[in-house]
Structure 1
């Protein structure tokens, strides 16, 4: 009989890299365990598969969504962060966890599921805030109620009775050595790096047939610095005039992202036809665009991991990344591919583009390292961690954290 596993992920859909990790976790674990997925919204399997190259429509698992009472509770808590969704579901996950052999949390917050569980942390948001220095949700009710009235504790934390100490007893997985360092710095607890799964390219094109173009991938948010990409490649084009930039991003109906998308289109129009914007590409279309171009460009500073440059590397591109965060691990910190300023980036791009032997060297190095980010590598590592947890439990107790 298969072991029973509860997978906790408060949101589950197409979109950013975090959702992609959840999709691959569900696909991998449902093939080996009796999985129940707990999420706030019913997954749109076809859209998820189209976005991440998974095959969830063929997987067997059960869905556990919020009750009407829980939805009403969420709407009653004024909090634009949506963390109340996490905590409402976390409360029920804690109640149900005893029915399962193991619980796996893959969501936006560090998770307290009542007993030791496995959690995949994309970034330690809770530790990077004032919440851990305030009265925790696990405090006695009189103290907690007073803290809420004084604004010292967010209301959503009282819903799940969140405990940082219980969270720290989990087996923690994370997406990069950089994020692991942040987790240790903020919580004084260990974590193991399991690189996220990046899609590959099924139909690679030879380097000689690829265009002298750059591909950029990212959500509609200012931190992705698409405007800077246009600026830097305009500078590069003064020396290599056939260079083009392809910006690939999702576009939805939300007012905030719509305004950014309109601004991006206007910026591309002003720059000229060498800048092309592609919205809502399917996985197959994105892979095709990556396969046709030689280079990738990633501009976010202190990215936790960087699914986009990982996808570029797996598609055979040479990615250039900012010299910060977890994205430098994708290119093994190679100084020829990590830039720190506009001038530095332009110089390094031109150096690579002007040297065929250097291109061959970097392509070989990047492609070999990119196997660490394949879905197959992720699945092997994930199953190994779950089996070890089922056999041995979390890797020893952690030190108590003082609130």
Structure 2
């Protein structure tokens, strides 16, 4: 039995990164003494319900209040000098990593579930997407310009980097695409352990019982290209009047202007329904009752909504690049380069030019290759690998 410290920035939201963290805690808590270090503690009961985990409510959770206060103050400074830069999560993670480096000697192994870090101690990091040293990351994924490069340098130093060197014993990424990005940034190879995809409550209805409609799932934001998804359905609806779209996903106050534009577009179209944030039951019901999924983000790090589309027996259409293409085994018929190309490919499918059954059979078995039990088994093996190498 080992003493393990798992570090996760915060639990202000319960999304994919939080699922990785709590599934990891669930996998390790019976065999080891696990401590969770975070700025804001999770609601264990709510998280267990959402992720179908069994995290023990009595696990040790450390929340350094002075680091949280420093994070709040630093966020205010960023507002004054930088405006909104999207750097708040990176800053908060860097501060937490700085704190962890001063306490990691109390543990046998330290694990970061919120991207890369250097601890100077036996460690493993799970990288969803590089968060530091972005000035060394290839465009368009990095940062450029003196102000942002300077800020990235300071953040990276705070997070424990003296350069683009990642010294953790083991680097784990969520997809091969992310692994390549880590390799380009840090010249460091690792292993891929895809995040857990919840499949227990996903239904697979017969194709004939499904509506000839689409569902897009994800935060309503420019990088998710929600408006582009609507434009694609515009083109499809011109030829197939049954075609319609459900937009599912939470809103962000930071992107309030974009959300307003999306809402205005949906209000003007009877064939587009704005669902917003919905219950898990509503989401799985939509996936089970529709034939097609539509994913707008290019270069998605993993694309858990695409995995859920496939698990539900839908046919997903995805933008190029990123881990989402791995979830459809790289099938070119399902990867579009532009909205007009998407319309053409979708119409070929809906009009019967392409064989839907053949395409569905070529997609992966999500439960076997990406399911929760698979994740917990693989991550336990990798943690033991680091422990054995000490």
Q: Shorter-normalised TM-score: what interval?
A: 0.7 to 0.9
In structure 2, the partner of 1:250 is 250
1:334 Cα deviation after fit: 0.6
Give the one of 256, 260, 263 matched to 2:261: 263
Q: TM-score, normalised by structure 2?
A: 0.86
In structure 2, the partner of 1:22 is 21
In structure 1, distance between residues paired with 2:298 and 2:264? 24
Is residue 245–residue 276 contact of structure 1 (8 Å, CA) maintained in 2? yes
1:299 Cα deviation after fit: 1.0
Is residue 214–residue 243 contact of structure 1 (8 Å, CA) maintained in 2? yes
1:290 equivalent to 2:284? Answer no
Matches within 5 A, 1:95-106: 95-106=102-113
In structure 2, distance between residues paired with 1:159 and 1:193? 27
Q: Structure 2: which 5+ residue stretches go unaligned?
A: 80-86, 138-146
1:126 equivalent to 2:132? Answer yes
Is residue 50–residue 282 contact of structure 1 (8 Å, CA) maintained in 2? no
In structure 2, the partner of 1:219 is 219
- The alignment of Structure 1 onto Structure 2 pairs a total of residues equal to 370
- C-alpha change, 1:280 and 1:199, in structure 2 (3 Å) is same
1:21 Cα deviation after fit: 2.0
1:314 equivalent to 2:311? Answer yes
3-state SS of 1:219 partner: coil
1:224-243 superposed Cα distances (whole Å, 9 cap, x missing partner): 11111111111111222101
Is residue 290–residue 315 contact of structure 1 (8 Å, CA) maintained in 2? yes
In structure 2, the partner of 1:61 is 59
Give the one of 323, 326, 335 matched to 2:332: 335
1:276 equivalent to 2:273? Answer yes
1:44 Cα deviation after fit: 2.3
In structure 2, distance between residues paired with 1:53 and 1:186? 35
Give the one of 75, 79, 91 matched to 2:98: 91
In structure 1, distance between residues paired with 2:347 and 2:367? 23
Q: Structure 1: which 5+ residue stretches go unaligned?
A: 132-147, 394-403
3-state SS of 1:79 partner: helix
Matches within 5 A, 1:4-403: 4-56=3-55, 58=56, 60-68=58-66, 70-77=67-74, 78-79=77-78, 81-82=87-88, 83-107=90-114, 109-129=115-135, 156=155, 159=158, 161-164=160-163, 167-200=166-199, 201-251=201-251, 254=253, 256-272=254-270, 274-355=271-352, 358-368=355-365, 371-393=368-390
Q: TM-score, normalised by structure 1?
A: 0.84
1:338-389 superposed Cα distances (whole Å, 9 cap, x missing partner): 1111222112112222239811112222252563121122112111111111
